[in-house]
Amino acid sequence: MLSVTLSAPMETPNPNKRLRRDLPSSSGPSSLPTVPDFNQNHVDLIISSFLSLPDFPSLSSSISIMDSFDRVIEKLLQSCSDDDRIKDRGLRLASLLRESTTRCARKHAADHNSSSWRLPHDLTVKVFSMVDKKSLMRASACCIMFKKYAMDPLCYSHTDLTTETVENRIVRNMILNAGKELRSLKVGCPDESTKSLLSGSCLAPLSSDHGFLGNLLESLHIYNHGWLDNTSLCRALSVCSNLTDLKIVGLDVNSLRKVLEVLPKKCQHLFVEKGIGSGRSMWSLGSFFLSYRPDLTSLSLIGFELDDGEVHIIIRGLPKLKYLNLSRTSVMKGGFLRHVSDRRRGSLLETIILRECRSLDETRVCKFLDSLIMSRRHLRFIRHIDVSNYNGLMHGGSKPKRLFFVFPLEKLKEKRPGVTFVADFRSPSSSSSIFSWSPYYSPSSRLINCPGDTSSGSGSEGG
């Protein structure tokens, strides 16, 4: 019966038919020529018999299906003047068989999963919304039922697209899939050494339809390492009026003012890291925060050249601030700490991170710790302080060869048992020790000498 099907195309070539066959055909079984005197039952029987043929790889290869295909097709090509017709028909039949098998397999899997899947629809969607989007796409390809679940907009409410293979089309589709359920979006690759496939147009759906989708966003994290231009960034942020969490890594310093000008007043968490080689801003950040007074409880400004006066003004403009991270600030010496510890300010600060601040002076840090020890009312909510620096802290305008001031950790432990203080100096030219106190640390872990350190006397007394 197999030979009947394959022999059918060997009818007398007709030039008109040959021209019609060379034209692009519509996909589907209806585009294939019919076999005379064969009804649908005959065709079904032929296909069933064909699929039921056994293949015995352990026996002679002459009876294998693959060799049978080769022999029959080779004979047809030799006996038929229209080679292209035979090739095209064989490829189309193979494609139809593959598509039909895949479609039926998905339907069979869907029927099986429907009878064995015990989770209700809403709980399944909840589970799907918690997996990464790559896994979600794989699940949707398993069966029709999973595809239906994976298309629910709730699965895309919190979309994380921070992998290097993501391109513009994927970001746009994910935003549109979320629709009115869109709440948080992370886009861009955190690894700055990876070349991004994105451009500013990937955020365009946020601005479409008068910013309908952008207005739904509550959290937006952007890892920009050269792919996002300032115009596209500000256009997207201008419609995100309900943001409570904004993170931008790799921001050009000249764009900071525009970003802050469109920052929603209700925003509570702001993280901005300056892009490499983006220069220095001449715009006063302190005056902006003092006049605008957003509801920020967490502020991270990484890599910006802020002096003590400006930091002091920033803190004054943020009365609800609990978390402050000014790491890699090159100008600040730490004088603002004297003002922030003033009990009359009623500061709510719980965490202060000043890592890799190359101008930070150890004298000012010690005075700050002394003020905490002298009165529990000074920064009464403080819980964590980090002044770690690879090369150590400054002393008198220069890097010290030894630790001039011993941090009063024992007194801090006694007077402020709930405070964690971290001073990690890794460079051999610095104090080469890690000073830390935490109520959760054992006493023996308060001082750890770095590898290569031959002395243990200068820092041990300060532990």
First-to-last alpha carbon distance for the chain, in angstroms, is 90
Indicate the residue among 97, 115, 133 that finishes a domain: 115
- Tell me, yes or no, whether 153 lies in a domain: no
Number of compact structural domains in the chain: 2
In a domain, 83, yes or no: yes
Residue 405 lies in a domain: yes
| Residue 48 resides in a domain | no
Q: Which residues of 203-235 are buried (b: 16+ CB within 10 A; e: fewer)?
A: bbbbbeeebebbebbbbbbbbbbebbeeebbeb
Question: Is-contact 318 285, C-beta < 8 A?
Answer: no
101 and 250 inside one domain: no
Max alpha carbon distance in the chain (Å)?
Answer: 106
Which element (helix H / strand E) includes 270? strand 269-274
Do 302 and 216 reside in the same domain of the chain?
yes
The answer to whether 459 and 447 are in contact (CB under 8 A) is yes
If asked whether residues 326 and 452 sit together in one domain, one would say: yes
* 439 CB burial (10 A radius; 0-12, 13-18, 19+): exposed
220 shares a domain with 89? no
Same domain, 376 and 278: yes
The burial of 273, by beta-carbon neighbours within 10 Å (0-12 exposed, 13-18 middle, 19 or more buried), is given as buried
pLDDT for residue 458 = 35
CA-to-CA separations, 343 to 17, 199, 348, 379, 421, in angstroms, rounded: 94, 48, 11, 7, 20
Do 328 and 182 fall within a single domain?
Answer: yes
Q: Give every strand in the sheet of 245-251, ordered side by side.
A: 158-161, 184-187, 219-223, 245-251, 269-274, 298-302, 323-325, 351-353, 384-386, 420-424, 433-437, 447-449
Closest CA to 244 of 223, 216, 222: 216
Is residue 233 a contact partner of residue 222, using CB atoms and an 8 Å limit? yes
Q: Do 96 and 218 belong to one domain?
A: no
Question: Could you tell me if residue 148 is inside a domain?
Answer: no
pLDDT of residue 437: 54
- Per-residue DSSP letters for 15-29? HHHHHHHHSPPPSSG
**Residue 18 pLDDT:** 40
CATH number of the domain that residue 237 is part of:
3.80.10
CA angle 292, 354, 305 (to 5 degrees): 60
Give the residue from 115, 130, 149 where a domain finishes: 115
For residue 37, what pLDDT is reported?
60
In-domain check, residue 252: yes
Examine the domain organization and report whether 326 and 438 are in the same domain. Answer: yes
CB burial string 7-32: b at 16+ within 10 A, e below? eebeeeeeeeeeeebeeeeeeeeeee
Same domain for 452 and 352, yes or no, is: yes
**C-alpha 38, offset from chain centre:** 57
User: What per-residue confidence (pLDDT) applies to 21?
Assistant: 38
State whether 76 and 210 are in the same domain.
no
Cβ atoms of 291 and 317 closer than 8 Å: yes
What domain range includes position 9? Answer: 1-19+64-115
* Shared-domain flag, residues 351 and 441: yes
Task: Chunk the chain into consecutive blocks of 10 residues (it has 463) and report each block's average pLDDT, rounded to whole numbers.
Answer: 40 43 40 58 84 65 70 84 82 90 82 79 90 88 84 94 92 95 94 86 93 95 89 92 95 86 93 78 77 90 91 91 94 89 72 94 91 85 93 75 70 91 74 49 33 35 35
At position 44, the amino acid (one-letter code) is: D
pLDDT for residue 381? 92
Q: Is the pTM of this model over 0.85?
A: no
Q: CA nearest 403: which of 443, 439, 447?
A: 447
Please, which residues have CB within 8 angstroms of residue 28's CB and are 6 or more apart in sequence? none
